[in-house]
Amino acid sequence: MRRVLDFVLVIWLAATLAFMLLRVLPGDAISAQLALSGASRAEIEAIRDDMGLSAPLSRQYLSYIGGLLRGDMGYSLTSTLPVVEVIAPRLLPTLILALTSGVCAAVGGVLIGAACLNTGGVGRIARAVVNLSLSLPIYWTGTLAIIVFSSWLGWLPSSGTHGADRLILPVLVLSIHVMAPVARVTYANLRQIHDATFVRVARAKGLPELLILRRHILRAALGPVIAVIALQTGFLLSGAVITESVFARSGVGQLLLVSTLDRDYPVVQGIVVLSAVFYMLVNVIADWSTRLLDPRIVS
């Protein structure tokens, strides 16, 4: 119950901050925007009244929050469609990209993190890969991937939204980017747990090393790793904006970029609220699964 309250509180705060930033600070930016598109003074007034922008701020705020509760985010300034209808068709491509990359990054990160433990050449290579991928700008790896796999080898298409083959390169690029922090935390945890008492007990019992790894080490190490994976949601969403731009995928990230350039405030505001909801959802799910996995954590 407390969790649900926290969840609602954080979303409400994020929505309020977005409102303050985008509707209070720019002042008359919306009128300026309309004037740029060639609307007359009377038209601007009519549209402002229509959008409820001439009402006092407190009432605007209440109707904004009330609208959010009903799933109404106002109207886009550039297309005059409801914001919900502008965002909805973009949602699925971004969700597919983000979730697939998230899963790939989690699996890859844990595997590479475990490989880092190796004291020989494999470990050295794994550690170097982790350090390198922390420093790689995603817009560069994306471009290089297109040069190599689309242009030189001709294996995969470089752009587009639909179809599994158009998903491979973006997912590859985005998950390499998100994988590194996961691998780092996995490595640090595994190293710590490697010498924990319960692991030494298991070794003393003469259990085979692989069984110890699977049943004792991994289970205890996965909790913090899941927490880090959940925290990567931010990276994942930021990365999705860039990835969608590099690979010309029409998703929410690209919509956010275009709306930012057009100063389409209601759409930007809607996307901010949605990303906060997504972030909180992932973190709540991560919290639950951590509790399930590690019996030492009691709520």
Q: Which residues bind another protein (CB under 8 A)?
A: 6, 9-11, 13-14, 17-18, 21-22, 25-26, 29, 131-132, 134-140, 143-144, 146-147, 151, 233-235, 237-238, 241-242, 245-246, 256-257, 259-261, 263, 265, 268, 271-272, 275-276, 279-280
User: CA 65 → CA 4, 58, 103, 267, distances in Å?
Assistant: 18, 11, 33, 15
Between 158 and 290, name the residue whose CB sits nearer to another protein. Answer: 158
**CA distance linking residue 270 with residue 267, whole number of Å:** 5
CB of 245 to another protein, least distance (A): 6
β partners of residue 75:
82
**Which is nearest to 217 in space by CA: 251, 191, 236, 239?**
191
Between 13 and 88, name the residue whose CB sits nearer to another protein. Answer: 13
277's CB contacts (< 8 A; 6+ apart) are 11
CB of 248 to another protein, least distance (A): 11
Between 86 and 202, name the residue whose CB sits nearer to another protein. Answer: 86
**Which is nearest to 171 in space by CA: 263, 226, 246?**
246
CB of 264 to another protein, least distance (A): 8
Between 219 and 263, name the residue whose CB sits nearer to another protein. Answer: 263
CA angle 89, 94, 100 (to 5 degrees): 135
Q: How is residue 75 written in tokens?
A: 């109207």
CB of 122 to another protein, least distance (A): 21
Between 222 and 282, name the residue whose CB sits nearer to another protein. Answer: 282
CB of 161 to another protein, least distance (A): 18
